[in-house]
Amino acid sequence: MKILVLNGPNLNLLGKREPGLYGTQGLDEIMSSMQAAAEQMGVQLDCFQSNEEGALVSRIGEASGTYDGVIFNPAAYTHTSIALRDALLAVDLPCVEVHLSNTHRREEFRHTSLTAPACVGQIMGFGGKGYVLALEGLVEYLQSMKED
């Protein structure tokens, strides 16, 4: 099983960026925890971060036929990007959306996700642990699809 992990804008600044909100773990540390969990499950991960919407759209578009699913933290693009939503729908791969914070406890403009309707699930509010939870959920989802 092969899963693409995508991270959107400013997530490269984790650990320094608003640690009271996002925690002190850097993105590399979060991805390392995720890689360790994936190895125990026998899953291969490819991780990619970009501050550029087009680069994320391109990676999603290239995912079909290579990956079994996607785990995606679109960050601020969650609330603005129709292009990312359309890309997720176009590749027809199961995707789990992840957010470090609970966006519903934040500013009103963060309450709407344009990308979530293109996903099979959404995990938020558990910090870096949310990525591992997303991985566990997506792997179980993919296994159940193979059984059907």
- Here the tokens at position 32 are 């390392």
- Here the tokens at position 106 are 């934040």
Length, in residues, of the chain:
148
Q: Which of 67, 77, 79, 99 is catalytic?
A: 99
22 labelled catalytic? yes
CA 74, CA 113: separation in Å to the nearest integer?
10
Tell me the angle at which helices 27-41 and 129-147 cross, rounded to the nearest 10 degrees.
Answer: 30
CA 79, CA 68: separation in Å to the nearest integer?
25
Instruction: For the beta carbon of residue 1, count every other beta carbon within 10 angstroms.
Output: 16
CA 133, CA 8: separation in Å to the nearest integer?
18
111 labelled catalytic? no
Q: Which of 22, 67, 77, 131 is catalytic?
A: 22
State the catalytic residues: 22, 99
